[in-house]
Amino acid sequence: MLLRDKLWRKAAAFMAACVIGGFLVTGLLVPAAALGSSLAATSTKLFEQLPSVLDLNPPARNSEVLAKDGSVIATFYSQNRVPVELEQVSPFMRDGIVAIEDSRFYEHGGIDPAGILRALYVDTLGGRQGASTITQQYVKNVLIQALISSGRADEVKSSAARTIGDKLREMKLAVSLEDKYSKDQILQGYLNLVYFGNGAYGIQSAAKEYFGVPASDLSLTQAAALAGVVNRPLYYDPITEPGHVVARRNEVLDQMLQQGYISTVQHDKATAAPLALNVQPTVQGCAAATSPYFCDYVQRLILNDPAFGADETARRRLLYQGGLSIHTTLDPDLQKVAQGQVNASLPPADPLQRGAALVSVQPRTGKILAMAQNTIYNPAPGPGHYTGNFALPETDSRGKPLHGAGGFQIGSTMKPFVFAEWLNSGRSMAVRLDGSVRTYKAGFPWKNSCGTTAGSYDPALGQTPLPNDDPYHYYRMSVLEGLYHSINTITFQSATQLDFCNIQKMATAAGIKDGHTNKPYDLSSIANLIGTQDVAPLDMATAYATFAAGGIRCRPVALETVTGPGGHHYPVPAADCTQTIDPDVAAGVTYALKPVLTKGSGYNIPVNKEQDIFAKTGTTDGHTQTWTVGATTGIATASWFGSYKGFGPEWANEHITINGKYYAGLDGANIAGTQWAHLMNAAAPKYPGGPFPSPPPSMLR
């Protein structure tokens, strides 16, 4: 920069310091230099000692959660701001803000002595006129933003509380800023930072908020209206005070005409135009998300992970102020189908208050493709309002909250893990067992090499004998038939020959765990063989995906990438796909579960059976919880329908009418099976399944 310009700015700075200091101290319109050389020298020294470095940290900006196709699921912000380049701002806006806020912006060196003197004169006459340049306003906003971003918003001073020192500091910083940055850079920073009311920070958010257009498309009348708002956003509120805004807009247009930015014809046409708002309020957070429960899961993944900050406060600040682009695995087309299905199963406000959920993952990648439930994401009391996520366990592996419901009793969807251990122990699925055995006395010698297993079905103790859902299946049959017909007595007979510790290990290897504690599935009670413990639907989908993937278990993942401004990449959890189950065992399980859909407990589920597909149904006591879980090689889905309110008789799904249809006893193949089938049918073209490998002949003999 030319030496002459630097000297001019230093002179201007000295003059401004003297004027401000002299006027504010004496209350008189007297130049400070007239008060003596001592005061002038003191003012100069004071000004030179003020800080001159302004840290232009990026302003708080919106974070976006994006679906697989890049569409926006949700936006998070503490200040609704989307920074843009100056070239992306309408010329009318650039000219209008300069005309009304700082007509000498391109002439002064950061502070405007002439403007200060003019403001002092107007003030002495009882008027009101500001003297801050755009550069000074920018400095002031940067300092305020720095306090807010560091969690010190309570230290932001009101206009009345600001001291002479505050104002002189801002003037010194303004002069310094002009030495370092061009006028266009300063104007760009100002337009991205300034507040336009109604939660809109920066010109891009304001343009979309009030007129539904990007900043680049603002017309003359729209730009003039917004340029007028920044002076007093509450008084010039376009929504509540349109009359004030039109009057102020016309002042802006007058200034633009006087300063040669627009012609008389443009001026007259614009001043005669209506305000013509097209208010597009921006809503943020998961309550406004297209997929609110998945959004909440993503939010918890960020808030729980040390990769995004030292503690939850820092992570929340990053999420709401850091401008993150959070790319997720969610397939919006599949999600739309899933949401439609669960809502069709039972509308959110239905007085029955039953829950419905669907969650899908991709085998061999662990990617979560859909996550939907039939409640309204709202913490306020109301019909169908519920913020817990049916798909999730209560906590993550670190014990941090996930807002999960903690799972539900899984019923007979547990049986494939017992069957898998039967095969894993070297036994054949063709072995025939006695399905008529219904009594197991207390003290029966169940084997558990890593704990103890107890329980009984003993009429001598007043207990009900072990029941099957079908009264015609108490006979000798193969273990294979016992699985696809879901025969409890066959599952128990097979377990008499197995180590419960190994059954537990098989379930863990597939991916299931206690939905409340994250501990391994508890097999200390024999009743848990048929699913009396709570498991989250996401874990059930993961476990069945393990079978579909030939025994390769992948941790479920929701995050693809997380990037910050400037392209900084944050680490995200990996699927860590690992061969946890013998491929032959997995092949045996898929082989045995395919007949469920053709001649077993799910024969009436309306899924496309021309594809290679398997499933297992599950129903608990009282028909309270019902499930269908199944997969192709392309996608695995857990479907649940049941009670999330309690377990008493009032929540049993017996002799009940749901959506106009009567059920003597709701079964897993009914509502859960139907919504599962529709989702799987919709997914097939995009996630086609290939043939499952055949199990070795030894498993079939």
Q: What is the pLDDT of residues 475-528, one digit of tens each?
A: 999 999 999 999 999 999 999 999 999 999 999 999 999 999 999 999 999 999
Q: Which of 637, 680, 544 is nearest to 357 (CA)?
A: 637
Report phi then psi at 221, rounded to 5.
Answer: -65, -40
pLDDT tens per residue, range 97-152: 999 999 999 999 998 876 666 555 544 554 444 568 999 999 999 988 888 777 77
Predicted confidence band at 282 (pLDDT cuts at 50, 70, 90)?
confident
pLDDT tens per residue, range 416-449: 999 999 999 999 999 999 999 999 999 999 999 9
Helices and strands in the chain: count of H runs, count of E runs: 21, 18
pLDDT of residue 164: 76
Domains located in the chain, CATH noted? 3-49+80-271 (1.10.3810.10)
How buried is 647 (Cβ within 10 angstroms: 0-12 exposed, 13-18 middle, 19+ buried)? middle
pLDDT tens per residue, range 598-629: 999 999 999 999 999 999 999 999 999 999 99
Residue 695 has pLDDT above 60, yes or no: yes
pLDDT of residue 118: 58
∠674-676-682 over CA atoms, to 5°?
105
Averaged pLDDT, 232-256 = 97
Higher pLDDT, residue 347 or 5: 347
Residue 24 has pLDDT above 50, yes or no: no
Averaged pLDDT, 578-584 = 99
Residue 400 has pLDDT above 50, yes or no: yes
Averaged pLDDT, 272-288 = 93
Residue 38 has pLDDT above 50, yes or no: no
Exposure string for 471-482, b = 16+ CB within 10 A, e = fewer: eebbeebbbbbb
Residue 243 has pLDDT above 70, yes or no: yes
Residue 193 per-residue DSSP state: H
What are the angstrom distances between the C-alpha of 512 and each of 410, 503, 521? 11, 12, 7
Residue 183: helix, strand or coil by DSSP? Answer: helix
∠491-496-502 over CA atoms, to 5°?
85
Residue 552 has pLDDT above 60, yes or no: yes
Predicted confidence band at 35 (pLDDT cuts at 50, 70, 90)?
very low
Instruction: Show Cβ contacts of residue 280 under 8 Å, excluding neighbours closer than 6 positions.
Output: 208, 209, 210, 212
∠364-368-370 over CA atoms, to 5°?
130
pLDDT of residue 34: 36
Q: Using CA atoms, how far apart are residues 617 and 113, in angstroms rounded to an integer?
A: 81
pLDDT tens per residue, range 199-217: 999 999 999 999 999 999 9
